[in-house]
Amino acid sequence: MSFFQSDIAYAFYSSLKCVKAFKVTTDKGYVQGYIQQEKGLLKGFFSRRAIVLGGPVLYPDATEEDVTKLLQKLKQATKSAIYTEIRAEKDYSEYKEAFTDIGFGYTPHLNVLIKCDTEEKTFDRMDENRRRQIRRAAESGVSCRYATNLDEVRTFYGLLKNHYKKKVKKPLFTWEFFEKMFTSGTGKYLLAIKDEKIIGGMLQVSTDSTVYDYYACGLDAEYQAESPSAIIYWETIKRAISDGRKIFDTMGAGTPEIPYGVRDFKLRFGGELTEFGRYTSINKPVLYKLGCLAIKIIS
């Protein structure tokens, strides 16, 4: 089961002021997520969205009719949002007709899953450039460890905010989210450190079988010899193997046919490219169209 459909995830999102958590159930499954909007009167009004990470949890004998009932309840629970988006972590193609009939359109979206079996095998599956970066990072004296206090988490958050502002250009959770991830123990922050300075990191959440790259960034341009993003990925793989986890889920690799540097970065670790896609229901079509225009203008 996905971390994002676990009781731990639901309890975490329910504790936040910046989102409104929801969960709906039937006798054949359940689905949970959160409703979120940006700060500001205009931006907030036009950015109300319901996000479901991982996708519905369905019993093995669930039929299309059962899935339809669950999705109907989901739409009812998220009707205040302008749109509801399911970011699938598994293949729901056998229920595609149920999704379509209830108004969830499919959009292709990629991900990269990295198998964590042994250090030797995972290292061999990487391309030569990535292996060279990891060796060079080790030689340069960069080290990795988990954050031990909120000051370190705040430093990582500062790096991440700057990264999102300059490069990603997408909404980012407020400090409350990152603070509570640490204080509640829901997530861990793996940090790359050089000369006692944090030069990169990753917020990780996990299940017994999978570790997820929830948020990550690194000062790769400023620290080329240390390759903080690469060493963080390698350390994540090594720790997953040590902890008995089999998969490193890198959480997204963009849209097929559109070049994406992040996808290239992830694939060089020898991962598997998957396409489980996203299912979106536009709950308020007029506001959705106006919102797309408004967000462009005021962003």
One-letter identity of residue 113: L
pLDDT category at 162 given cuts 50, 70, 90 is very high
- The least confident of 30-39, 117-126, 285-294 is 285-294
Model confidence at 84: pLDDT above 50: yes
What ranges in 141-246 are assigned the alpha helix state H? Answer: 150-163, 175-183, 228-243
Residue 109 has a CB neighbour count (10 Å cut-off) of 18
pLDDT band at 296 (very low <50, low <70, confident <90, very high): low
Check residue 287 and give its pLDDT. Answer: 83
Structure tokens at 125: 């599956």
For residues 167 and 249, the model is more confident at 249
pLDDT at residue 42, rounded to an integer: 54
In the predicted model, is pLDDT for residue 45 greater than 90? no
The pLDDT score that the predictor gives to residue 293 is: 66
Residue 174 pLDDT > 60 = yes
Cα-based distances in Å from 85 to 125, 288, 292: 34, 13, 15
Q: What is the pLDDT of residue 170?
A: 86
User: How many CB atoms within 10 Å of residue 246?
Assistant: 14
Output the six-digit token pair for 280: 């979106």
- So what's the pLDDT on residue 208? 96
Kindly tell me if the per-residue pLDDT of 294 is higher than 60.
Answer: no
pLDDT at 1: 83
- Provide the whole-model pTM: 0.93
Report whether pLDDT(126) > 50: yes
Please tell me the predicted confidence (pLDDT) of residue 41.
Answer: 55
pLDDT band at 297 (very low <50, low <70, confident <90, very high): very low
Strands of 136-282, DSSP E: 143-146, 188-194, 197-206, 210-218, 247-249, 272-275, 278-282
The span from the CA of 277 to the CA of 269, in Å, is 22
- Asked if residue 61 lies in contact with residue 50, where contact means CB atoms within 8 angstroms, the answer is no
Task: Answer whether 242's CB lies under 8 Å from 116's CB.
Answer: no
**What pLDDT is stored for residue 243 in this prediction?**
97
Pick from 94-108, 179-193, 252-266, 277-291: least confident? 277-291
Cβ-proximal residues to 210 (8 Å cutoff; 6+ apart), any chain? 3, 245, 246, 247, 248, 249
What pLDDT, on a 0 to 100 scale, did the predictor assign at position 286? 86
pLDDT reported for residue 43:
62
Q: Tell me what the pLDDT averaged over the chain comes to.
A: 93
Q: Report pLDDT for 239.
A: 98
Contacts of 205 (CB under 8 A, 6+ apart): 3, 9, 181, 186, 187, 211, 212, 214
- The string of pLDDT tens digits covering residues 255-285 is 999 999 999 999 999 999 999 999 999 999 8
Q: What is the pLDDT of residue 37?
A: 80
What pLDDT is stored for residue 299 in this prediction? 44
What is the pLDDT averaged over residues 182-210?
Answer: 97
